[in-house]
Amino acid sequence: MGVIQSSDSDTAATDVAFRAEIRAWLAENLDGDFRGLRGAGGPGREHEAFEERLAWDRHLAAAGWTCLGWPREHGGRDASVRSQVIFHEEYARADAPARVSHVGEELLGPTLLAFGTEEQKQRFLPGVRSVSELWCQGYSEPGAGSDLAAVSTSARLDGDRWVINGQKIWTSLAHVADWCFVLARTERGSTRHHGLSYLLVPMDQPGIEVRPINQLTGTSEFNEVFFDDAVTEAGLIVGEPGDGWRIAMGTLTFERGISTLGQQIRFERELADIEAMARRTGAADDPLLADRIDRAWVGLRVLRAHALRTMSDTGDAGGASVSKLLWANWHRGLGELAMAVQGAAGLITDAEGGTDMNAWQRLYLFSRADTIYGGSNEVQRNIIAERVLGLPREARG
């Protein structure tokens, strides 16, 4: 049964048929060359079978299973929110691999549909839909991580092109991306949210250097990106110069959209596996651990209820921040629960030399970042306080 239900029998029958279609297609196609991709990839594991997952994404695109909610004139299906939720549910239940094109499909694409020019849509949306061009997000900087308004990367208009200088950090998949949407300061002397612009920048050029960041997990899906007189065309600005903050916030709202329902099903699978491990090892006999498992189950139901309640209100910045607070803290807690269930065995790696972590050790280490990336807990609480509750703004130096 899906998470969205209806009293309308025709709509319900359509939902059931659509769910069956997706389920059958995934069962048939996650086989052969793609059989080994089940469960591969995702945060902290983007290095897994990358080329094979890229081929899978393009296979999805060729069958019409990418960009479902987009208008038909741009290659989508005009799928309703209900249908999109059903797709993400079934995709997660099939344990299909994490998408390598999610930044383009879930962030850049909806942003262009909402704010881009027709020329920009015609130029970039086909490549996103077909997965022939990959994207990364140029937001965070060494001095502007959780406080995005402190961006200092600059861009100046020089004739028919923007010239960009500065540094971005924690840029996921920059090492494989063809393009980057960059938040840069285009008005000299401007501060905070003012004077920022949203630029579309090609990655393959002499003015851009990408350096991988080695993580605690031993992987390096995050990167530093250096812009040294990097260039992009004057017309590759989304919205007007100086309007970048509004566009950037729109992108973040899309990031916390419908696909989070699929994310929660993956969380549910992780929790079920932890519970099974606890029963197998006897850890479930500890009443304190059993209570923590029960509380995690209740927390997951809260995530689901909140996501469904706020699904149609894409303009509610407070709702997006509450969602981020809920899932990030829940998932970080799940990593801690996994280590507690393992006990002392969780402190030992599988390989001599301590380089080969098991799935639960990797989950624990990577989930420590859940409450930081994409907007830290502190920033999300400030947004809720200021924009929803109307409390005085935090003093900033």
Backbone dihedral angles phi then psi of residue 166, each to the nearest 5 degrees: 145, -165
| Nearest alpha carbon to residue 233 among 298, 163, 167, 183 | 163
From the list 53, 65, 61, the residue with the least C-alpha distance to 25 is: 65
* CA 305 and chain centroid, separation: 20
Which value, to the nearest 10 degrees, does the dihedral of the CA atoms of residues 240, 243, 245, 247 take?
-40
Query: Which tokens hold the place of 20?
Result: 């069956």
- Indicate which residue of 255, 268, 270, 275 is catalytic: 255
The stretches of the chain forming alpha helices (DSSP H) are 9-29, 50-62, 81-93, 102, 109-115, 118-130, 244-255, 260-281, 287-310, 317-342, 359-367, 377-383
The answer to whether the beta carbons of residues 164 and 230 sit under 8 Å apart is yes
Pairing of strands 223-233, 161-168: antiparallel
Instruction: Please report, for residues 127, 178, 335, the alpha-carbon distance to residue 232 in angstroms, rounded to integers and kept in the order given.
Output: 18, 13, 41
Q: Which residues neighbour 102 within 8 Å (Cβ) at sequence distance 6 or greater?
A: 259
Helix (H) / strand (E) element for 223: namely: strand 223-233
Is 233 one of the annotated active-site residues of the chain? no
Q: How many CB atoms lie within 10 A of CB 63?
A: 10
Residue 133 to residue 256: CA distance in whole angstroms: 22
How many other C-beta atoms lie within 10 A of the C-beta of residue 149?
15
Distance, in Å, from the CA atom of 1 to the CA atom of 17, rounded to the nearest integer, reads 12
DSSP H/E element including 163: strand 161-168
Nearest to 103 by CA among 212, 252, 203: 252
Give 168's strand partners: 225
The residues carrying an active-site annotation are: 255
